[in-house]
Structure 1
């Protein structure tokens, strides 16, 4: 990383001001439930009692994983590049949802296999995929650092263009295996309890996945408190990129709306780098991957939605974004009792 991340704790004073204002609005106190809590969180994050979180920005990092050689996914590595082309032509779920919420969308090739340039995809390739972490470290520490720095730069560009809420997303065959290994290493949770079916593998393949993660953790024994050691041993370039983007958002007091397992694992790594990052995170949804609940618990977050999603790409977070929009509009646009000429008593 080129420069130190200066991330301040969130602004509790703005939160108190927001809470006081919400209690004056034309409704019984607390009657909008979690939406009120969300509005206060957005005030604390942005440092604005009347937070503005429009427009959102979706940033999707795509990269391949060496561990995919071990058959941990229902799809081959080639699908990463094929899906990147689908993103570029506007046909993926995240394209649809980004259009729906009028988000800026940026897709980054941070480590896709092959040298082909894909129109509409920004090329920031660290390397053509990570190494197989069953046999050696996934990447060098300098590569991990470069990927995090790249993610920070890409997010910074979005914020300079006016983005006020960040939705990080990813694409990478094999990345649930990498994320589960990272999560097991940093949280101490049992691998058996947090390993899921990813893209749709069967039970035998899932047991093999568990075994591969166990072997890899025994091989590398990464430091559970050192994000760069974890990333270089077991990570993916897109995971590192999202980690950097999340750090940048926290630095700029921008809310981060988290997606599923892979995105939330990236957030855990960002919190290891700077604990104040936790103040800027909002959990968009709870996915079907069992590790996702463990990651959210580690961060102390409750999800806004639970819809049985397991796609990634930032899709679940994009679906949750209108709730943030509603919270921000509520506090900015609803009348107070005084403004409406209504006696509260």
Structure 2
């Protein structure tokens, strides 16, 4: 995808339909409950109505797109897990035994596995081979990828999401697998928010102090070597990001372009969401933050985008694990709010209660 094509794709993303969103809000205010008393459940329905441009909201089927890739910065000892775990877990997604598998099975949602840069080859029909390279370069020595590779990875995310939209999927989640990607996510967050590395870098999958210090040092070296430009989100993505993150940027953009809600998982998915938001602020209209990850930079990311997490479960698994939980919450909101009776149904004069139920 050329830059001009991406700019046009972004320019075609429309804001949500405020007229239909207001219609939904008015309808919800007429239900037999205090106005706004179901809080974020009501907000979800209002957002969905505005996104889909209809009161006849569709919440099924749902799919979490899982971008899988390795990161060259692992050579700097930034993770307690060996890099081979990326390939192992990517394959295990096909076996139905991972956290996101079980949560998705419970929620009745699907996963869509994309190999966008794993340092291994797979021959499995459930793993979509869109490999750009066998992992990124070590960002502490050189740019993690070229600008062109970052653009290609965004295009992969767009294309894979568009395929799912064509197949009738209504709501999307964002997942990832890639040892070392809390390091790349912290780097992107620090660069785009112009914050000190220490403010946004956590211990990821349980890193000990020595590994954690290596993580901090690797990001600082990457900034010195590459000088990422905070005014160019793709430059930041290319220099200190990863293929998995770039692919997720494409998922966010394509979901918004196709007028579909897209759920953010944790810190890594939120870092990709920040890049998408910096490229196109309108994308925020289509985003839903699932939970508040325990990673230290998560809250700063969501505050910058202007989103609040719906849950705080002290989760830090990744994989897209927060998304099926939110799919369930969305389904519950729809079942409840579009199934409740109105004041008219209940034979109650709403005006008699407004002084109490404000």
TM-score by length of 1: 0.96
In structure 2, the residue matched to 1:73 is 79
CA contact (8 A) 1:43 1:51 kept: yes
In structure 2, the residue matched to 1:139 is 145
Of 323, 328, 336, the match for 1:317:
323
Matches of 1:133 and 1:117, distance apart in 2 = 29
Q: Is 2:37 the partner of 1:31?
A: yes
Post-superposition offset of 1:54:
1.6
Higher mean C-alpha deviation, range 268-277 or range 26-35: 26-35
Of 16, 21, 41, the match for 1:10:
16
Post-superposition offset of 1:335:
2.1
Higher mean C-alpha deviation, range 36-45 or range 230-239: 36-45
In structure 2, the residue matched to 1:207 is 213
Matches of 1:27 and 1:115, distance apart in 2 = 55
Residues 262-283 of structure 1, C-alpha deviations (whole Å, 9 max, x = no match): 1011111111221111111110
Residues 5-49 of structure 1, C-alpha deviations (whole Å, 9 max, x = no match): 211111111111011000111222222122112221222222223
Of 255, 259, 263, the match for 1:253:
259
CA contact (8 A) 1:42 1:328 kept: no
Of 265, 273, 276, the match for 1:267:
273
In structure 2, the residue matched to 1:61 is 67
Residues 102-137 of structure 1, C-alpha deviations (whole Å, 9 max, x = no match): 112210100000234344211110100000001101
Aligned pairs for 1:163-178 within 5 A: 163-178=169-184
Higher mean C-alpha deviation, range 69-78 or range 207-216: 207-216
User: Secondary structure at the residue paired with 2:126?
Assistant: coil
CA contact (8 A) 1:260 1:312 kept: yes
5+ unaligned residues in a row in structure 2: which ranges? 353-358
CA contact (8 A) 2:80 2:211 kept: no
- Distance change (3 Å), C-alpha of 1:318 and 1:284: same
Aligned length: 345
TM-score by length of 2: 0.93
In structure 1, the residue matched to 2:133 is 127
User: Secondary structure at the residue paired with 2:182?
Assistant: helix
Of 331, 334, 340, the match for 1:334:
340
Residues 292-316 of structure 1, C-alpha deviations (whole Å, 9 max, x = no match): 1111111111100101100101101
Matches of 1:329 and 1:99, distance apart in 2 = 19
Matches of 1:198 and 1:64, distance apart in 2 = 15
In structure 2, the residue matched to 1:236 is 242
Of 109, 114, 120, the match for 2:115:
109
User: Secondary structure at the residue paired with 1:166?
Assistant: strand
In structure 2, the residue matched to 1:307 is 313
Residues 144-174 of structure 1, C-alpha deviations (whole Å, 9 max, x = no match): 1111001101011111111111101000000
5+ unaligned residues in a row in structure 1: which ranges? none
